[in-house]
Each structure stands twice: as C-alpha cells, then as structure tokens.
Homo-oligomer: A and B are copies of this chain.
Amino acid sequence: MRKHNFGAGPGVLPEEAIRKTQEALYDFNGIGMGAMEISHRSKEFAAVMDRTRSLTRELLKVPDTHEILLLQGGASGQFAMIPMNFLNGKAAYVEAGAWSVKAIKEAKTAGEVVVVASSADKNFNYQPKGYDIPADCDYLHITSNETIHGTQLKAWPDSPIPLVCDMSSDIFSRPVDTGAFDLIYAGAQKNLGPSGVTVVIIKKEFAQGIKKKLPKYFNYNTHIEGESLYNTPPTLPILVCMFTLEWLKGIGGVEAIEKINSEKASLFYGQVDANPFFTGTANKEDRSPMNAPFLLADPKRDAEFLQTARGKGIEGIKGHRSVGGFRASMYNALPVESVKALVTFMEEFSKVHA
C-alpha cells in the first residue's frame, strides 16, 4: 500500500515512471545490461538524453533560440553559477522567500546585488508585484514558486533586462512562455524526477554574452557545446525524468496537468477556506497549487493532527519550521485521490475537535 505522499521534495513520482525504472535497472530495453551500467555515450543512453530533451522542448514549447541542458548540482548549484557567469556589474533579485534569500546570498559572493522587491515584511506570505526593474542591472532573478511559503507568481514581470527564473518547485505544472526567459532552471526533485539532475533552459544569445574568465566546468557554454555530455551526466536520474515526462505527455501535457493541479488546489483550499479550524498562511491571490502551508486554529492539536493523519496513510505534511503548522505539497504526480483523502481527514478531524 503506497501512502498519500505530500512531501515537499524529493516528492512523489508517477507509479508508471517507477515501474519503468525498476524494469530498466536489470536489463534495459533487452540489451542485457542495466540502465545504470551503460556508457553515457552509448546509443541507448543517447536516445534517453535526446528523448528527455525533446519531451522538455515539446511539453514546455521551448523555442529553438533556447538550449536545454541537463546538469548536476541542483538549484543551489545554479544560485552560484548564474552570478559567476552573468553578474558583471550588478544584478537585480526579487526576495520572495527562503529560496530567493539563498539565491541572493550566493549572488553576493560574486558581486553587487540590488534587491528590487521583498516580501520579508510579512514572512514572505505574498509575491511582490509592481516593482521597478533597474535597466542597468545584468539580469533580474525571480522565483516562480516559493516551496516553503506557498506562494506562486501568477504573472511574469515585464523585464527590460534578461529574465532568470528558478522554477524548481513548479516547472512542468503549467504552461509557461519559455521564450520570454533568458534562463530557467529547476532541480528535478519536485515535478520531474529524482534529485541529482538540474534542467536549465538557456537562451543561446544570453550564453554567448558571457564575458568572464571562468572554470570551464562552470561556464554554461561548455555544456551547450558539449550537449550536456561534456562529462558523464547523472544517467539514472535522467532516465527517470524521461519516464516522468512520457507519463506527463501521456496524460495530456502541461495543459492537462494544470487542470488537474487546479482541481487538487480547489479541493484543498476549498476546505481551508470553508473550515474555521484551518487557516492558509499565504495571501489568497498568490497561493501556490504546488505547496499549501496551513495552520490549525488550535495549535495545541498539531501533534495529534499529524499523528492521526499518519494513521490514515497521509505523509509529509509537517510544516517547515520557518512557517510552522503544516504544508501539503501537491506535485504533478500526487493523485487527486490523495487530496480527497487529506480533505476528508481534515473535515473529520475538525468535527471531532470542534
């Protein structure tokens, strides 16, 4: 019996992708060797790389002006690589949550950072909007979804400078005008696959503008030229990503999953709004369908709530310490049934303790 997995990541993956991975490990496609045991330059793995990239291109409608890279190091690696490559004078950052704060701190090791807007005044419970973007900065860095605080950007800023976006916790959850960005990056471990692979969608023109003397390995152009095979890529995590994207395509792509994610979010936030026993911590208009932090009206019930949930097979809902209470992460692969189970449990629990 699989649990209802509301974990914030590494999170739930489609059962179809898990089953395909299991099969691939011992004897991949009938070649007599497992998927982990073949050269990254073999024709079998080349097909995995190609398909993972072409599915990414197709599902996110990535234009030909942009390259798709599959790198290592996660979003934290990108926090460092972006300023290393692109911060020449100063860079603009929006501070919308714990992950933005980390990105800013890392960028400051490379140069000057202008924080153009912040929601720190309200513990990041909203997404800053309507701020000015200085035209003399090298790029503007935003975070599309703040995993910890449960806010999501619903509209993209109209930026006069290159736009860089951390989409780690909502990539592939909704259609995105990828052509409007100069660099999108995401650790895989929410909607895409296991941890250990980082997708980077980069405008070639943006990369061509890199002027700094850099270690070869940390220069985006190295990986563009090497087609993400400059060195051995994380082959197994990439394979799982491919299976996950095949599943996503099979159910109708990002347009279809957006509707399913909306349905899950409506179910969950519907309960939170209708039931005085619960409060959502994020500003309503900025609520994320991916991560939903919430509090009990009576925090003395927290431990009991968590434990009773576990008894119902509901896992991963303990809130992050910086927000407290609970958090339901509802990534692409989380079934609607899991949200129904959570909502039913919430209703029952509130009735018993009203």
Residues of A within 8 A of B (CB): 1-3, 5, 7-13, 15, 18-19, 21-22, 25-27, 31-34, 36-40, 42, 72-77, 79-80, 83-84, 105-106, 109-110, 187, 189, 193-197, 213-218, 230-237, 240, 313, 315-316
Contact = CB atoms under 8 A, between A and B. Distances in A.
Contacts of A80: 215-218
Nearest to A42: B7
Contact of A189 (B21, B230, B232): B232
A109 B77 contact: no
Q: Max chain B CB contacts within 10 Å: which of A21, A25, A189, A215?
A: A215
A197 B79 CA distance: 19
Given A1-B32, A2-B33, A237-B234, A217 B10 contact: no
A99 B184 CA distance: 32
16 contacts: A5-B33, A9-B39, A10-B235, A12-B33, A22-B22, A72-B234, A74-B232, A77-B217, A80-B215, A80-B217, A83-B215, A194-B235, A195-B235, A195-B236, A196-B233, A196-B234
Given A22-B26, A77-B231, A218-B218, 10 more contacts: A5-B33, A10-B37, A22-B25, A36-B195, A73-B73, A79-B217, A80-B216, A80-B218, A195-B235, A196-B233
Nearest to A105: B216
B106 A7 contact: no
A189 B234 CA distance: 9
B37 A26 contact: no
A73 B217 contact: yes
A95 B325 CA distance: 57
Contacts of A214: 109
B187 A232 contact: yes
A215 B102 CA distance: 12
Contacts of A76: 217, 230-232
Contacts of A194: 36, 234-236
Contacts of A316: 39
A10 B73 contact: no
Contact of A36 (B10, B72, B315): B10
Contacts of A313: 32
**What are the 3 A-B residue pairs with the smallest beta carbon separation, nearest first?**
A196-B234, A76-B231, A80-B215
B31 A3 contact: yes
A33 B236 CA distance: 19
Contacts of A109: 213-216
Nearest to A331: B37
A37 B9 CA distance: 7
A315 B32 contact: yes
A337 to B, nearest CB: 14
A150 to B, nearest CB: 17
Q: Max chain B CB contacts within 10 Å: which of A1, A15, A232, A313?
A: A232
